Amino acid sequence: MTNEILHESYRGSRLSISIRNLRVQHDGAEVLLGIVIACGEHREQKSLVITTEQYCELKPTVGPLDEETYERLESAALLCAALRGGESLLSFGPNSVKMLTRKLMQRGFSKEVASAAAEKLCLSGLINERADLRREVEKGLRKLWGAKRISAHLWSRGFDQDVIRELPEILEEVDFPANCAAYIRKHYGGLPETPEEQKKMIAALCRYGYTLQEIKRAFALFEKK
């Protein structure tokens, strides 16, 4: 709640904000603040949840609050909620910082809060883009994807550009013509018999991420048998 909203809600009256109680929760990971906002006869009770790290930084105590301090606490509570949301998303599978930011924004957090939460989770070690990228590459190779398809997948997952630059080195030892041949064998059983069918297969293999050179070499592996 910003100063503007506070003033709009309680226009024309003297506003007072205070912390009535503090309670540690979630095994000490969070602190719940019981807030009372009063203006004349109107009283509103709110609960803000912040991390213990935020609590140590902001040092809120039971008693009156000025509006600036209240705003800082409310911003901290938003970030805390985004952090918890990010942790929940990461429990279902790895995410890059950009991907997690997008998912948090889809949950209603602003870009600024979502980005701050994702960066903080990365710094805490819950996001390891290099390790996650290698796992995504391994998944792609198990699906017999070509290098272009793997690269496009990594970009779609929002991996950092500096991390994606390591992809050629990771794929250096991969025999893509052999993988292409394995894909043909698995999905087609062998090479097509007509030029028209061959064109369709080549187009499909290109969409799967293989280069024309790799496809020709894969075809040659069948012809040698």
Average pLDDT of every residue of the chain: 92
What's the pLDDT band for 15 if we cut at 50, 70, 90?
confident
Q: Do 76 and 24 belong to one domain?
A: yes
On whether both 136 and 42 belong to a single domain, the answer is no
Work out the pLDDT band at 46, boundaries 50, 70, 90: very high
Among candidate residues 100, 123, 146, the one where a domain is terminated: 123
- CATH code of the domain containing 43: 1.10.10.10
107 and 142, same domain (yes or no): no
The answer, yes or no, to whether residue 41 has pLDDT greater than 90, is no
3-state helix, strand, coil in the chain (%, to 5): 60, 15, 25
Same domain, 187 and 215: yes
Residues 12 and 105 grouped into a single domain: yes
In total, how many domains does the chain have?
2
Contacts of 87 by beta carbon, 8 Å cutoff, 6+ apart: 121, 126
**What are the tens digits of pLDDT across the range 100-115?**
999 999 999 999 999 9
Whole-prediction pTM: 0.75
47 lies in the same domain as 92 = yes
Same domain for 79 and 33, yes or no, is: yes
Residues 118 and 136 in one domain: no
Q: Same domain, yes or no, for 156 and 203? A: yes
For the segment 47-56, what is each residue's pLDDT rounded down to a tens digit?
Answer: 999 999 999 9
Rounded CA-CA distance 176/194 in Å is: 24
With contact defined as beta carbons under 8 Å apart, do 182 and 119 qualify? no
Do 152 and 72 belong to one domain? no
Q: Give the range of the structural domain holding residue 106, as residue numbers without chain letter.
A: 3-123
The answer on 57 and 159 residing in a single domain is no
